[in-house]
Structure 1
Amino acid sequence: MKKALTGKEINYYNYLSEVNSPGKYFASHLKYKIFCCLWAIASIFHMANFNGFSINLTFFLLTASAITLIAKPSSTVRLLIFISLQIYQAATDMPRTSNHWVIAAFVNLTIIQSYIYLIIKRRSFFIDKVELMNIFAPLVKMEVIVLYFFAIFHKLNSGFLDTEASCAVRFLLLQNSYYDILPTSKTLLALNIYLTLTIEALIPLLLCLRRTRYWGILLGLVFHWVLAYNPLNGFYDFSATILALYFLFTSTNFSNKIYSFYSQTIKRKSVLKNRLLQFNLVNFALFTFSILFALALINIYTRAFQDYFRHVIWTAYSVSFMIIFILSMRTKDDTEEKGAFSFAHYTLLLLPLITFLNGLSPYLGLKTESSYAMFSNLRTEGGVTNHLLAPISTQIFDYQKDVVEIVSSSDPYLQRMADEGKLLVFFQFRKHVKKHLPAQVTYLRNGEKSTFELSKASATHELLSGSYALDKVMDFRHFMKNGEQECTH
C-alpha cells in the first residue's frame, strides 16, 4: 500500500526515451500544461455566460476543479476530475446541451479514451503527459474539423441564403444596433451571408494544411473574437472553447512564447513591487493614483456595459491570446509536427466518428438540436428540406416526418406555437406534454385532429409515455409551417 501511495517501484513509463530531442519533449510538456489551463478557462467562460458558478453543487465543483487545474496543470488527477465533472454536467443538461458543450464533452471523452488506451498499452496508471497529449491531440483536431464541416454544410440551405430570414443578417443587424459601426444596406447584408460561408469554409481548409495552418488559426481567432460580441447570446463561451482547441494545432513555439510573456510579467511585477515598497512621496502618489484610476475605470465600465465578463474579461483574455499568437507567427519553428492528424490506433477513431454522426443527425431523420446546426436556418422536418445538397431521402428514421400542428392549448408555449404558425415533431410534442402536463391541447397530427385532456387521459396514453433514454438523447426544434425557417438556435 505504501508503494502504491508513494509511487515507488511502480511502472512509470518515461516517454522521453522515445523522443529524439529532450528540448522538444520539455517544450511539449509545457504545451500540455498550457492546454490544461486554456481548457479550464473555457469552462469558466461557459459558466460565466449564464452566471452558473454556483447554480448547483455540480457547477460549484466544476468551477473549483477548473481553478485547481489552472493552479497545477501538470496534475493528471486534477485534469481527470475536471473533465469528468464537465462530462457529467453535459450529460445532466441533455438533451438541451449547447453545441460547444457537446464538443467539449466529446473532447473530454477523447482524452479519457486516450488515457485508457495508454493504461492498457503501458500496463500502468502512471501515464506520461506528453505521450497522452500526442495521443488525444490528433483525434481532437479531427473533431474540430468535423465541427467546422457541419457548421458550413448545415448553412447550405435556401433559408440561410435569404436576406429576409438568414441568421447571418440577423447577427449583423443585432451587432450593429448595439455598436452602430457598419452600414446596413441590403448589399452589405447579402455580402455578409457569403462572407460568413467563405470564412467558415476557409478556416478548416487552412487548418488541414501545414503551410497555411497558422493563417487558418488567425482567421478563426478574428472571426470568433468578433462573434463573441454579438448581443444575441454570450458567444464568448463558444469562442473560448475554440481558442483552447486551436491551441492544439499550434507548434511548441507558441507555448514557449506564452511562457516567455508569463515569465516577463512575473519579473516586471517583482521589480515594480520592490520599487513601490520603497516609501517616498512619488510612490505614494503613484499608488494612490493607480487605485483611483482603477476605481474610475470600474465605474465607467459598469455604466457602459452590462455584460462586464464579455467586454472586460473576454476582451483582455482574447486580445492577449491573439497578440501573443501573432508574435509567435514571426518566428519560424522547425519543430512543428508533420502528421497533425496521425492517430495511434484505429480504435481511437470511435469518438471522432460519433462526433461526425452527431452532426449528421438531421439528415438521418434524428435530432435537430445539439447537432452543430445552431443558427443555420436548416429545415429538414415534415418530409421537406431546404438544404441545397442533402435530399430528404437520406432520412432513414421517421421521427422528423411525424409532425404536429397545434390548434389550441391551455399551455402557453403550445398556444404560442399555434399563434405563430409553428409546427413540432410529434416526438418533441409528446416530451413537452409529458413534462408540463397541460390541461387541454387540440392538435393536428399528420392531418388528423385529436384532443388531449389531462383529466381524462390514462397513464398509458401515448402523450404520457415514451423512452427515457431516447428522450434524454434526442431533441427537436420547432419549425415554420410556411416560409423559410426562422433564425433559431
Structure 2
Amino acid sequence: MFAWLWAVAVVLHLLYLSNSYAAFSSLSADHVVHLLLGIAALALLVRPRSLALLAAVCALTPVTAWFEAPRLGNHWLLASLVAVVFISAMAIGALSKTRDISGAVLRDALPAARLIFLVVYGFCAFAKFNSSFVDPTASCANFYLNEVARSVGLSQFNSIGTSGWMHLVPWIAMAIETGVVVLLLVRHTRVLGVIVALVFHGIIAFDTAHAFSDFSSVIAALAILFLPDTFFLSFTPWLRKPGLHIAGLFVALVSAVLLVWQSTDSGRLSVSTLGHGRDWLWWIVWAVLTAAVIGWSVRTHMLRSDIELLPAHKTMLVLPALAFLIGCGPYLELRVGTSWNMYANLQTANGSSNSFVIPVTAEFTNYQNDRVRITATKDSGLQQYIDSGYELPFVNLRGYTSTHYDTSITYERNGMTTTVEHTRDDPTLGRELPWWERKVIVFRALDATEPVACQNTMLSAR
C-alpha cells in the first residue's frame, strides 16, 4: 500500500512541475531523469509489490530533486530523504549474508522514514509559533483557509481581519499540526494521529488556487507507516480482488494520460483541464484511503500502534539527523528556503527572529545581511519583488541573473543605487555561483514590514 501511494505522490509531483520539465520536448539530463522517474512511478502503480521498481523510483527521486534545486518544494526534499533511506536499507539487505532485502526495508527503512516524518512535521509545526503567524491579518492559516473556502464555493467567506474568531484560525492550525506529532509519538494514539493528518491535509488539498495535493500525497504515504500491521493484514484479502486491481490499473492509466498530456502540450490550451484531472485523481485516492483508515479504526476500536521508530542499523539515523539539521537551518542562518518552515510567516535574519521560542538566531552566515531592493527591471520574475516590496539577499539575485536571460535592473544595496543595463555582461551578476551557493545555501525574500506577510508562492530568485 505504501509503495502504491508513493507512486501516486511521485505522479502528482511531476504533474505540478512547470512545462520546463516537459520531458518529451527535450533530451537534456534533467528532462530525461524526470521522464524516467515518471515511467518508473507508472510501473510501480501497476506492480506495487516490486522492490525493484520501488528501488528505481527511490533512486531517481533525489536526482530530480538536485535538478529542481534551488526551486525545490519541501515535500520533494522530504521525499528525497525518505528515498535515500529506502535505497540505503535495500543496499544493507543486499549486502547481508541472508540477502534479505524485504527484511531490511521493514527493520531499517520504515523506522527511519517514520523518524524523518516526525522531525520534518515537528519543524513545520514549530515554525508557526511566531508573532506573524498568529496575526489574522497576515497569517498563512487565514490566507489558505480563504482559498479553501472559495475553492469549494464559499466565495463570500473571509477569515482575514481582526474579529475574535479570526484570531482562532492560526491557533487551531498550530494545535492540529502539533497534535499530529504528539499523537504519533504516543503508541496508544498513533492511529488517531494518522487520521488527523489525513483529514487535515486532505482538506488543505481542496485549495485549487494553490496546489497542495503533491505535498498532501507525500504526507499521506508517510502517515500510513504509523499504522499497525493489523491494518494492512485486514486489507490483504481486498488487495487481491480483481476489482481493486482493475481500479489500480485505471489510476495508472489516468496518471499516464495526464503525464503525457502535460509533457506534450504547450500549456496554452489545457492548463485548467489538466488541473482538474490532477485534483480529482488525488481527491479520489485521498477519500478512499481516509475512509478505509477511519472505517477500520471504528470497526476494530483500535487507536494503538506498536510500530518501531528506531532502525536496526543505527547508521540509518544519519538521514533523520540530516532532516533535523535542515530544520535548524533558519535558526542558524545557514539556509532558509526549503527548511521545513513553509507557510509559517517565519522570518529569521540578521540575528533575530519573529519566533516566540527562538527570538535570536545564530548568524553562521552573513548572506542575509547583504540584501538588495529592486526598484526597476524588465524581467517579469524580478518584477515580483517590486510588486511585493520584498527585499532579497544579493546571493539570490546573483543566482537568478547568472542563469536567466539578459535583462536590465536597478537596485539598492548598502545605501547605493546601481543600474545594470545588461546583467549577463556584469562581472558580478553575470558570473555563475558555485554549486553549494546555487543549490544548497538557499534563502527566501525578506519582508521589511510587520507583521511578516505570508509568502504564498515561491518567488523567482530562489
TM-score, shorter chain, exceeding 0.5: yes
How far 1:175 moved relative to its partner?
1.8
Contact 2:374-2:411 within 8 A present in 1 as well? yes
Secondary structure in structure 2 of the residue aligned to 1:479: coil
Which stretch of the first structure deviates more once superposed, 43-52 or 421-430? 43-52
Match of 1:171 among 133, 141, 144: 144
Aligned to 2:67: 92
Is the contact made by 2:349 and 2:361 (CA closer than 8 Å) also made in structure 1?
no
Q: Taking structure 1 as reference, are residues 455 and 246 closer, same or farther at Cα in structure 2, changes over 3 Å only?
A: closer
Instruction: State whether residues 382 and 403 of structure 1, in contact with CA within 8 Å, keep that contact through their aligned partners in structure 2.
Output: no
> 1:322: which partner in 2?
290
* Corresponding residue number in structure 1 for 2:449: 482
Deviations 1:51-97 (A, max 9, x none): 87954433332222112223333332222112112221111101111
Q: Indicate the larger mover: 169-178 or 446-455.
A: 446-455
| Counterpart residue number, 1:15 | none
Equivalences for residues 12-51 of structure 1 within 5 A? 34-50=1-17
1-side partners of 2:229 and 2:352: how far apart? 49
Q: Where do 1:214-253 residues align within 5 Å? A: 214-253=191-230
**How big is the shift at 1:442?**
3.1
Whether contact under 8 Å (2:188, 2:305) holds in the other structure is no
Letter in 2 for 1:144: F
Give TM-score, length-normalised by structure 1. 0.78
* Deviation per residue, 1:413-468 (Å, 9 max, x gap): 43442354220111101112222365543322233444444389564x36625312
Matching residue of 1:9: none
Aligned to 2:309: 341
Distance in 2 of aligned mates of 1:96 and 1:346: 32
Cα deviation, residue 242, structure 1: 1.1
Contact conserved, 1:405 with 1:443, CA < 8 A, in 2?
Answer: yes
The alignment's TM-score, normalised by the length of structure 2, stands at 0.82
In the alignment, what sits opposite 1:110?
85
Partner in structure 2 of residue 79 of structure 1: 54
User: Alpha-carbon deviation of 1:184?
Assistant: 3.5
Cα distance, 1:470–1:79 mapped onto 2, change above 3 Å: same
Residue 312 (str. 1) matches residue 280 (str. 2): yes
Contact 1:379 1:485 in 2 (8 A): yes
Matches within 5 A, 1:36-435: 36-50=3-17, 55=23, 56-120=31-95, 122-123=96-97, 126-181=99-154, 183-184=157-158, 186-264=163-241, 266=243, 307-309=275-277, 311-330=279-298, 338=306, 340-435=308-403
The number of aligned residues is 420
- Structure 1 residue 369 displacement after superposition: 1.5
2: distance between equivalents of 1:362 and 1:452? 31
> What is the CA deviation profile of residues 270-313 of structure 1, one whole-angstrom value per residue up to 9, with x for unaligned ones?
xxxxxxxxxxxxxxxxxxxxxxxxxxxxxxxx9x9874335532
Mean alpha-carbon deviation: is it higher for 469-478 or for 407-416?
Answer: 407-416
Q: 1:426 to 1:210 in 2, by over 3 A?
A: same
Q: Equivalent residue for 2:251? A: none
RMSD (CA atoms): 3.0
Q: Structure 1 241/85 Cα, relative in aligned 2: closer, same or farther at 3 Å?
A: same
Is the Cα–Cα contact under 8 Å of residues 89 and 104 in structure 2 kept in the other structure? no
In the superposition, relative to structure 1, how do residues 132 and 179 fare at CA in structure 2: closer, same or farther (>3 Å)? Answer: closer
Change (3 A) 1:130 1:388: same
- SS of corresponding position for 1:77: helix
Distance 1:267 1:466 in 2: 50
The secondary structure found in structure 1 opposite 2:403 is helix
1:195 positional shift: 0.6
> How far has the Cα of 1:156 moved from its partner?
1.2
Which range moved further: 89-98 or 378-387? 378-387
**1:257 & 1:113 partners in 2: Cα distance?**
29
Choose the corresponding residue for 1:468, options 430, 435, 446.
Answer: 435
Unpaired runs of at least 5, structure 1: 1-33, 270-301
In structure 2, relative to structure 1, the CA distance for the partners of 1:395 and 1:176 (3 Å cut) is same
Contact 1:257 1:324 in 2 (8 A): no
